[in-house]
């Protein structure tokens, strides 16, 4: 579907759903510079394609993404601050991109999602997990802080106290625990994980894409703006949606007692 010079694959799962699969199984899909840059490119290019209305992200083999490849890491303590900042920015760009694109992204957590891989899963709009799924903010284990957005995202998902527990202890959540801690919408068998994620992505892809993208932006900013800013942004978004063909189609379909057919414009 899209060729990217990086250890990942991009495929069309259905007419409107694409899959991005991290493909470094020998390194448990841990990030190196190539995968970091390729992930951002993949998400941005898919977001630019009108036919793609939802994305499923997963990993090959036994891991979703096991964090940073310590043997091939794009930053070291010996770097000066500017170089170190640029290296860490590569990791943060993945989170920025997932949060910033209008296309909804579902993480199919098929195995280890640790450290930077955990933050990537948290940055997705939804998470599903298999029985083999493991999620952990394991930065503390190597004397680090969540450098890729975890300390920002995790409290918004599970609350401050639970976020501190996971971050301060490095505790890994497994299987059904991930759902119990509100970090995944459901757990399914490993054999059914990708199909279930794609089926849920299809539900999202069936909704009007402009309204979906605007709704994602409003929810993502909701913890960071006051009510008046939130209302003003909702007014702007509603005006944009009101001028789309999809809105007109929804009104017509309601009047004609039929299901709408959204076109993404």
**Cα dihedral 210/39/111/11 (nearest 10):** 70
**Cα dihedral 207/213/219/220 (nearest 10):** 140
Taking the model in full, what pTM does it have?
Answer: 0.94
C-alpha–C-alpha distance, residues 137 and 62, integer Å: 18
C-alpha–C-alpha distance, residues 132 and 150, integer Å: 22
Which residues does 102 contact at the CB level (< 8 Å), separation at least 6? 47, 209, 212, 213, 214, 216, 217
CA-CA distances (angstroms) from residue 161 to 76, 137, 246? 31, 14, 42
C-alpha–C-alpha distance, residues 247 and 264, integer Å: 10
For every one of its 265 residues, what pLDDT tens digit does the chain have, with 9 covering 90 and above? 789 999 999 999 999 999 999 999 999 999 999 999 999 999 999 999 999 999 999 999 999 999 999 888 767 778 888 888 888 899 999 999 999 999 999 999 999 999 999 999 999 999 999 999 999 999 999 889 998 999 999 999 999 999 999 999 999 999 899 999 999 999 999 999 999 999 999 999 999 999 999 999 999 999 999 999 999 999 999 999 999 988 888 888 788 888 888 877 7
**Coil vs helix vs strand at 112:** strand
C-alpha–C-alpha distance, residues 100 and 104, integer Å: 10
Which residues does 244 contact at the CB level (< 8 Å), separation at least 6? 208, 210, 211, 265
Q: Enumerate the domain spans of the chain.
A: 8-205, 209-255
CATH topology of domain 209-255: Lyase 2-enoyl-coa Hydratase; Chain  A, domain 2 (1.10.12)
C-alpha–C-alpha distance, residues 147 and 63, integer Å: 20
Q: Is CATH 3.90.226.10 what the domain over 8-205 is classified as, yes or no?
A: yes
How high is the pLDDT of residue 204?
96
How high is the pLDDT of residue 210?
94
Contact between 37 and 6 under an 8 Å Cβ cutoff? The reply is yes
Other CB atoms within 10 A of residue 213 CB: 20
How high is the pLDDT of residue 97?
98
């Amino acid at each position: 579907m899209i060729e990217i010079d990086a250890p990942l694959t991009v495929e069309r799962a259905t007419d409107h759903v694409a899959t991005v699969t991290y493909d470094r199984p020998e390194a448990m899909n841990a990030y190196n510079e190539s995968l970091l840059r390729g992930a951002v490119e993949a998400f941005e290019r898919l977001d630019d394609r009108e036919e793609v209305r939802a994305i499923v992200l997963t990993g090959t083999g036994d891991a979703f993404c096991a964090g940073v490849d310590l043997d091939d890491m794009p930053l070291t303590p010996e770097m000066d601050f500017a170089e170190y900042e640029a290296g860490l920015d590569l990791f943060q760009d993945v989170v920025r991109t997932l949060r910033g694109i209008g296309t909804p992204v579902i993480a199919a957590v098929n195995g280890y999602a640790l450290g930077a891989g955990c933050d990537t899963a948290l940055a997705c709009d939804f998470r599903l997990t298999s029985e083999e799924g493991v999620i952990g903010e394991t930065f503390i284990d190597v004397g680090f802080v969540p450098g890729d957005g975890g300390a920002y995202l995790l409290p918004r998902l599970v609350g401050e106290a639970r976020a501190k527990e996971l971050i301060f202890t490095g505790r890994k959540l497994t299987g059904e625990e991930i759902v119990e801690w509100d970090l995944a919408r459901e757990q399914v068998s490993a054999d059914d994980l990708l199909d279930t994620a794609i089926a849920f992505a299809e539900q999202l892809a069936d909704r009007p894409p402009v309204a979906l993208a605007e709704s994602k932006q409003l929810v993502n900013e909701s913890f960071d703006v006051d009510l008046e800013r939130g209302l003003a942004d909702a007014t702007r978004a509603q005006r944009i949606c009101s001028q789309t063909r999809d809105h007109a189609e929804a009104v017509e379909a309601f009047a004609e007692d039929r299901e709408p057919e959204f076109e993404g414009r």
